[in-house]
Amino acid sequence: MSIYAVDPPGEYPEHIMRWSVREVLCGWSEKRTRHLVGYTPMERSGRTSSAIQAFDQEQMRITTSSGRIYQLDGQPGSHGDAEYVWRHWKSFNEATDEIDVTEQYFLAAAN
- Domain extent for 29: 14-110
Domain for residue 80, yes or no?
A: yes
The contacts of residue 81 (CB under 8 Å, 6+ apart) are: 1, 39, 45, 46
Model confidence, pTM: 0.87
Average pLDDT of the chain is 89
Whole-number Å distance between alpha carbons of 62 and 54? 6
How does residue 12 score in pLDDT terms, banded at 50, 70 and 90?
confident
**Cβ-based neighbour number of residue 101 at 10 Å:** 16
CA–CA separation, 51 vs 39, rounded Å?
A: 17
Beta bridge partners of 71: 15, 61
pLDDT band at residue 39 under the 50/70/90 scheme: very high
Q: How many domains, the chain? A: 1
Give pLDDT, residue 28: 85
- The answer to whether 24 and 90 are in contact (CB under 8 A) is yes
Q: Is residue 37 part of a domain?
A: yes
Report the pLDDT averaged over residues 34-61.
95
